[in-house]
Structure 1
Amino acid sequence: MSFINFKVPYQADERFAKRVAYFSMEFAIHQPLKIYSGGLGFLSGSHLRSAYELKQNLVGVGILWKYGYYDQARNQDQTLQVTWMEKNYSFLEDTGIKFQIIIHDHPVWVKAFYLNPETFKTAPLFLLSTDLPENDYVSQTITHRLYDANVATKVAQFILLGVGGAKLIDELGFNPDRYHLNEAHGVSSVFYLYKKFGNVEDVKKRLVFTTHTPEEAGNEKHDINLCHKMSYFCGLGLDEVRKLTGLQDDQFNHSLVALRFAHLANGVSALHGDVSRQMWSKYPGICPIISITNAQNWTYWSDKQLYRASDESNDSWWDDRKKYLKKRAFEIVADQTGKVFDPNVLTIVWARRFAGYKRAEFLTRDKARFEKLLSNTKYPVQIIWAGKPYPMDYPAINEFNNLVHLSKNYKNVAVLIGYELTLSKRLKQASDIWLNNPRVPREASGTSGMTAAMNGGVNFSTDDGWIPEFIDHGHNGFVVPKADYARMNVQEQDDYDYNKLYDILEKEVLPLYYDNYDTWRQVAKNGMRDVRFRFEAGRMATEYYELLYK
């Protein structure tokens, strides 16, 4: 096929006729394409699937990571082992497009690969690689590892996504009405576009930005002199960069620059929109920040049989199906850990990226209370943990390993490895309770609970991210009521959340499941209905066109 004057290879719906180039560091499209690490990728993957279903005039731009994020293996004692394996994808098409960008005053060759919409039912996706024989070894490594720990490599990756992505769009002749940055990794594109158009106004009217990080410390910052030395600013002098961006100090704040160059931005939940407006309000010259709550693609994630059983009010079919889904997932538990779980027992699943504020080990903080929960014969429980810590985040890896060691003492506790799309889906199907306990308000959205609900898992969460828009306590899920967290220190907040969590678990969740299963099933079905109604990615993709691209 020809990639000159590229058009989406389907008839775009006239409601979504605006041409959009959507830049993201990671896309979780389908298990075989391992170019993602966590929530950001799950979001962009669902976005591309729904864009395809709605026939939107949108193309994705990302990076083809040679070793993916990393492969999660085990050491001899079951603890986490980080391994990197080369990935090969016969389903990606070579576009024949090759061009150069400047990194560190040095020309680097970039090649573009194409994921055809029909392969996995997504909007068209272009992936960039520098792993080419024309490049020296250091340039080849730019596209080796997602979120490389080396600072210079990471800055080079940001240049590739932003400058390389914008240049690719020119090579394609796609001429977008909007450049949409999903997180600020690709913000180097604004300097390329500024040089292309010759003024800020033309960049601004085309640029929109989605921010995912609800705290300042979490936003990427790099030494502005390093960025300059690495050709991040497309040949602009530092004085001009400072004038354009309004940055006075030596930290190049990627998100702040994105908010100053975009004409509109969005937070990823109503709460996150509030937090973001407040957080950035002290900086002059930023664009308005609206809210478009994240969502997940129902077609890809949901269990259709559970929905059919629910629609037909066939409770015995629903129960049989849920039990079958649990049983099938428990085969993975048995295979990895040698533990045989019982599909009749209430199963709590905590599975997501391991990061300090998500508090993976929360349930285990008071050993006596944890023991009591695990040894309760009237209301038995099974607990599964899974998730991929960042490979250089040693506190998070330590937390993972501590849970592995702890799990060896109990036959009803398991810690799994390999948390990617397929295992994620299986664990959601296995869950009776999908446990989510981040420190409020540090979770911008946290979409894993949406896909759990699409598989008959009941959300039990602290009141953060998308949860305030979803959970009606006792009706479609369970939520720890918010306290006045602003007046609490971290220890007080943790203590409050911990006690509330256990109280609700012991006094409401377990008795409901075992003593009143008909009501329990209704809670799960209410969650399934409500999540499909308001947190399906078709709604989100439509809102992007109606609210962000307008």
Structure 2
Amino acid sequence: MTDFRNYKVPYQTSQEYSESVAYFSMEFAVHQPLKIYSGGLGFLSGSHLRSAYELKQNLIGIGILWKYGYYDQSRNQDQTMKAEWYEKIYSFLEDTGIKYQITIHGNPVWIKAWYLAPQTFESAPLFLLSTDLPENDYLSQTITHRLYDSDTAAKVAQFIMLGIGGVRLLDELNFNPDVYHLNEAHGVSSVFHLMRKFGSKEEVKKRLVFTTHTPEEAGNEKHDIYLCEEMGYFNGYSLDEVRALTGMDGDLFNHSLAAFRFARKANGVSKLHGEVSRHMWESYDNIPEITSITNSQNFNYWADKQLYTFMNEDDVEKFDDRKRFLKKRAFEIVADQTGQLLDPDVLTIVWARRFAGYKRPELITRDLQRFEALINNPDMPVQVIWAGKPYPSDYGAISTFNQLVHLSKKYTNVAVCTSYELALSKRLKQASDVWLNNPRVPREASGTSGMTAAMNGAVNFSTYDGWICEFAEHGKNSFIVPAADYHNMSIHDQDAFDLKNLFQVLENEIVPAYYTDKNAWRKITQQGMKDVNDKFESNRMAREYYEIMYKS
């Protein structure tokens, strides 16, 4: 039995990773059965926990057990998107027996801790907090119902849960980490408990590091400071004390700014994002140096090992046969969902990730004449798959999703899938010949989906943003949409420029390369597979966090 009152990581940790770390994240995508994630932030933290386990690092995760997850994406009668919330039940989580109270909105709220043991999914230990208890009133029970609840007060309560609730759990566990790592600023309320525990901001700062994922200042979470006080976010500190500690004036509490000012070190999640973040925060004082550690994904979880085996053996026939099999298998899922039965011998473009306006999911369809010419070419046909979850209150993104659904009904070689979670994500990457990624530059902090696509024999085709800037060699391991001076262009002009160039690369380079020179195409595919595993595998990332961020 695990001793949860004097908790230690339940395996021999490596000497080089002996510093103890508590890693706070709002979401963790560890494995498909544990649906407590929405997108990229969760995919990143899930791979981090898997690599921490593989490297035997002294790290534990702190998250929240979302009763209804993010949401379940299904369809209305006309195939358009429907958001539904179903209770999730997890027999594989262990009851720690730990229950304790924190104060939210003036009321005592009971918290129960659940445990994902390392051997279950081969990840570092993960503790998950829940208020879904009979001891709580109904409103308190709902705090941990929905990930990223759209109600403002509920969201602030969730931030308190992760932050103050998370560090209180560490006290219950008697696990006193050398480092508290905030993966995004959702858990920064923790500092107001740590202040009482360690006695001063300086002592907290010695132990806290912060990873920011947001490339725009306006995108960082801010809430009414009086609401935060009323909700108990500041753990009894007066507003005057909070303003003095955080250096904030005005009526808004900026969670990221507070995290920066309490952290001894901070990092962005790609080299470009590090530069953007340093520029973004340079006018603020008392900000630590912002370095960068590029997000990465876990090879053992994501990669198709047989593709790598055949590549390393230089067995061309088996490599091609394996990729064709992966496509055919994935197309059965697509056909089951949509009725569109795609051809494994046809060039397949996949756009799949979180639906958001800046990611421009439908960009390729904005020139419909050119799009139809592309997919209807009888000599070099192309088929296209979309998938992804919009935020359930982002009606613009939902509208875009539904437009693509209606568009797909006109063609036999275009499909839009639902339920884009870990399992479907892996299958669609295996289905993909070309992984399309076209966010507006420089809006994508990192964007890791292309990494796992490359691990499954897909060629990245992307605007020059995020991690791609460190990876891409046009025509050698990927293809790039030519960049413009985006800073001096309107959004309309930027979209038009990118659309024109996207089609030029597709029509003149990608499609002909796939159909006219299989050896050249395979060489590009395999170079991407090698390069992504060399530099963008999460063991490298987990090592860098210890070397750059955790060591004092």
Show the counterpart of 1:297: 298
Show the counterpart of 2:530: 529
In 2, the alpha carbon distance for the partners of 1:373 and 1:345 equals: 12
Show the counterpart of 1:148: 149
Show the counterpart of 2:488: 487
Question: One-letter code of the match for 1:460?
Answer: F
In 2, the alpha carbon distance for the partners of 1:155 and 1:163 equals: 12
Show the counterpart of 2:205: 204
In 2, the alpha carbon distance for the partners of 1:548 and 1:505 equals: 41
In 2, the alpha carbon distance for the partners of 1:494 and 1:30 equals: 36
In 2, the alpha carbon distance for the partners of 1:107 and 1:202 equals: 28
Pairing of 1:78-93 with structure 2 (within 5 A): 78-93=79-94
Question: One-letter code of the match for 1:334?
Answer: A
Per the TM alignment, residue 480 of structure 1 is displaced from its structure 2 partner at its CA by 1.3
Show the counterpart of 2:216: 215
Identity of aligned residues (%): 70
Show the counterpart of 1:422: 423
Pairing of 1:49-198 with structure 2 (within 5 A): 49-198=50-199
Q: Secondary structure at the match of 1:194?
A: helix
Question: One-letter code of the match for 1:407?
Answer: S
Question: One-letter code of the match for 2:322?
Answer: R
Matched, 1:307 2:302: no
In 1, the alpha carbon distance for the partners of 2:93 and 2:9 equals: 16
Pairing of 1:490-509 with structure 2 (within 5 A): 490-509=491-510
Pairing of 1:428-447 with structure 2 (within 5 A): 428-447=429-448
Deviates more, 1:191-200 or 1:523-532: 191-200
Show the counterpart of 1:393: 394
In 1, the alpha carbon distance for the partners of 2:387 and 2:199 equals: 49
In 2, the alpha carbon distance for the partners of 1:329 and 1:252 equals: 46
Question: What count of residue pairs does the alignment treat as equivalent?
Answer: 550
In 2, the alpha carbon distance for the partners of 1:331 and 1:289 equals: 45
In 1, the alpha carbon distance for the partners of 2:152 and 2:381 equals: 48
In 2, the alpha carbon distance for the partners of 1:482 and 1:542 equals: 32
Per the TM alignment, residue 423 of structure 1 is displaced from its structure 2 partner at its CA by 0.1
Pairing of 1:268-283 with structure 2 (within 5 A): 268-283=269-284
Show the counterpart of 2:237: 236
Show the counterpart of 2:356: 355
Q: Secondary structure at the match of 1:332?
A: helix
- Cα displacement string for residues 52-101 of structure 1 (whole angstroms, at most 9, x for unaligned residues): 00000000000000000000010000000111000000000000010000
Show the counterpart of 1:259: 260
Deviates more, 1:477-486 or 1:19-28: 477-486
Deviates more, 1:372-381 or 1:506-515: 372-381
- Cα displacement string for residues 30-49 of structure 1 (whole angstroms, at most 9, x for unaligned residues): 00000000000000000000
Question: One-letter code of the match for 1:398?
Answer: S
- Cα displacement string for residues 302-353 of structure 1 (whole angstroms, at most 9, x for unaligned residues): 0000000000000000000000000000001111111111000000000000
Show the counterpart of 1:454: 455
Per the TM alignment, residue 378 of structure 1 is displaced from its structure 2 partner at its CA by 1.6
In 2, the alpha carbon distance for the partners of 1:192 and 1:493 equals: 46
Show the counterpart of 1:285: 286
Question: One-letter code of the match for 2:527?
Answer: N
Per the TM alignment, residue 509 of structure 1 is displaced from its structure 2 partner at its CA by 0.1
Per the TM alignment, residue 481 of structure 1 is displaced from its structure 2 partner at its CA by 2.4
Question: One-letter code of the match for 2:407?
Answer: L
TM-score by length of structure 2 reads 0.99
In 1, the alpha carbon distance for the partners of 2:6 and 2:122 equals: 22
Show the counterpart of 2:343: 342
In 2, the alpha carbon distance for the partners of 1:356 and 1:305 equals: 36
In 1, the alpha carbon distance for the partners of 2:376 and 2:370 equals: 10
In 2, the alpha carbon distance for the partners of 1:379 and 1:208 equals: 51
Show the counterpart of 1:547: 548
In 2, the alpha carbon distance for the partners of 1:509 and 1:78 equals: 31
- Cα displacement string for residues 421-468 of structure 1 (whole angstroms, at most 9, x for unaligned residues): 000000000000000000000000000000000000000000000001
In 1, the alpha carbon distance for the partners of 2:57 and 2:215 equals: 29
Question: One-letter code of the match for 1:502?
Answer: F
Show the counterpart of 2:13: 12
Q: Secondary structure at the match of 1:98?
A: strand
Per the TM alignment, residue 105 of structure 1 is displaced from its structure 2 partner at its CA by 1.1
Q: Secondary structure at the match of 1:142?
A: helix
Question: One-letter code of the match for 2:83?
Answer: V
Would you identify which runs of 4 or more consecutive aligned residues in structure 1 move more than 6 Å? none
Show the counterpart of 1:511: 512
In 1, the alpha carbon distance for the partners of 2:266 and 2:153 equals: 28
Deviates more, 1:7-16 or 1:481-490: 481-490
Show the counterpart of 1:383: 384
In 1, the alpha carbon distance for the partners of 2:400 and 2:498 equals: 19
Per the TM alignment, residue 402 of structure 1 is displaced from its structure 2 partner at its CA by 0.4
In 2, the alpha carbon distance for the partners of 1:197 and 1:338 equals: 60
In 2, the alpha carbon distance for the partners of 1:491 and 1:176 equals: 49
Per the TM alignment, residue 196 of structure 1 is displaced from its structure 2 partner at its CA by 1.2
Question: One-letter code of the match for 1:363?
Answer: I
Show the counterpart of 1:247: 248
In 1, the alpha carbon distance for the partners of 2:507 and 2:196 equals: 61
In 2, the alpha carbon distance for the partners of 1:413 and 1:481 equals: 26
- Cα displacement string for residues 257-277 of structure 1 (whole angstroms, at most 9, x for unaligned residues): 100000100000000000000
In 2, the alpha carbon distance for the partners of 1:518 and 1:13 equals: 43
- Cα displacement string for residues 4-54 of structure 1 (whole angstroms, at most 9, x for unaligned residues): 221100000001000000000000000000000000000000000000000
Question: One-letter code of the match for 2:470?
Answer: E
Show the counterpart of 1:320: 321
Unaligned runs of 5+ in 1: none
In 1, the alpha carbon distance for the partners of 2:90 and 2:100 equals: 22
In 2, the alpha carbon distance for the partners of 1:250 and 1:482 equals: 39
Question: One-letter code of the match for 2:514?
Answer: Y
User: What is the aligned-residue RMSD (CA, Å)?
Assistant: 0.5
Per the TM alignment, residue 492 of structure 1 is displaced from its structure 2 partner at its CA by 1.1
Question: One-letter code of the match for 1:58?
Answer: L
Q: Secondary structure at the match of 1:347?
A: strand
Question: One-letter code of the match for 2:176?
Answer: N
